[in-house]
Amino acid sequence: MPAQKTAFEKQVEEVIESFDFPRVHRVMETLAWTWANIDRVPTHAELVAEARRLLSELEGKPGVHGSGGLRASYKEDGTLSLKFILCESWSDPAEEAAAP
């Protein structure tokens, strides 16, 4: 008899099922966005597997894991999310304050 899924595992499945992997795959193909470990655009199945790995590694603890344009995050309030990041920039005021 298979073990029952935890609440976090159910969240992972909900995120996976609602994420638009075909759209991400089309963007990656259009941009010829390859992953270094496979030296080609990942397949739909590989995108899903990597997303599941990133989400699962959070283990229900706050944090962020990312790879190949995918970013999984778990917030203190219990929100689990998956994003595909095409471009991002930010400034960290803590780093600026520490600079000589």
| pLDDT score of 7 more than 80 | yes
CB under 8 Å, gap of 24 or more: what pairs does 40-48 form? Answer: 42/68, 47/21, 48/16, 48/21
**What's the CA gap between 64 and 58, in Å, rounded?**
7
pTM of the model: 0.85
Please report where in the chains the tokens 């970013």 appear, as a residue: 71
| pLDDT score of 3 more than 80 | no
| pLDDT score of 12 more than 90 | yes
**What's the CA gap between 7 and 27, in Å, rounded?**
32
**What's the CA gap between 50 and 22, in Å, rounded?**
14
| pLDDT score of 77 more than 90 | yes
